[in-house]
Chain A
Amino acid sequence: NAGVTQTPKFRILKIGQSMTLQCTQDMNHNYMYWYRQDPGMGLKLIYYSVGAGITDKGEVPNGYNVSRSTTEDFPLRLELAAPSQTSVYFCASSYGSGGGYGYTFGSGTRLTVV
């Protein structure tokens, strides 16, 4: 049982480059989330999805895009990378909304923009 799988684990990008962070889950969870973790800060919600074909912005969506074509996959796209996007990114999934169900997190992607 793989849970939530994120790739890559580490990446260095140059300013202005683009990349996609991959996230896939095998638990048939409808709810999926992308968070970023900056030093000394709590996890911040970037985007979330409540099911295939439905996505919405979180607290810090600028500079990112997402899609949800299948229940399993929820990729996060960075266009025109900036140093402010240097962070650790976590994907998470949940059986239902955060009202009653805990999250299962991926192992994270450490991204550095130089």
Chain B
Amino acid sequence: ILNVEQSPQSLHVQEGDSTNFTCSFPSSNFYALHWYRWETAKSPEALFVMTLNGDEKKKGRISATLNTKEGYSYLYIKGSQPEDSATYLCALYSGGGADGLTFGKGTHLIIQP
């Protein structure tokens, strides 16, 4: 069973501040890393799928980086807005065994006005 760790578990950020959080995974089992945004009472929504070491992806004020050699990915949010409040999930695809993602427990982000 793969272990995907996300930190911190929860985070309170002032509106307008920038923030980042971490996803760690076993580097020996890497094939792809996904980030999802999960708003309360909605379903998770795909943000990024990353496959290459050093990859950097951006969507508006949200960006993500990937280091497959050391087994981590960072998600950055620039100039946080109240609508960024959500749980952010990362998930690892290891390419072997069951064809499915192994999810972390998520980082719960609350933006305070």
Chain A contact residues, CB within 8 Å of chain B: 4, 31, 33, 35, 40-45, 48, 50, 56-59, 90, 97-108
Contacts and interface: CB of A to CB of B under 8 A. Distances in A.
B51 A100 contact: yes
Contacts of B102: 42, 45
A106 B38 CA distance: 12
Contacts of B16: none
Interface in B64-102: 89, 91, 93, 95, 98-102
B98 A57 contact: yes
A48 B49 contact: no
Given A45-B100, A57-B98, A97-B93, A103 B4 contact: no
Contact of B1 (A50, A57, A59): A59
B36 to A, nearest CB: 8
Contact of A48 (B89, B93, B99, B105): B99
A5 to B, nearest CB: 11
Nearest to B49: A102
Nearest to A61: B98
Nearest to A44: B103
Q: Label chain A's interface by main secondary structure.
A: loop
B105 A40 contact: yes
Contact of A42 (B31, B32, B48, B103): B103
Interface string B20-32: 0000000000011
Contacts of B32: 98-100
Interface string B33-62: 010100000111110110100000000000
Nearest to A40: B105
A103 B45 CA distance: 8
A63 B48 CA distance: 33
A48 B100 contact: yes
A40 B9 CA distance: 10
Given A90-B43, A102-B46, A105-B43, A97 B103 contact: no
A104 to B, nearest CB: 7
B99 A50 contact: yes
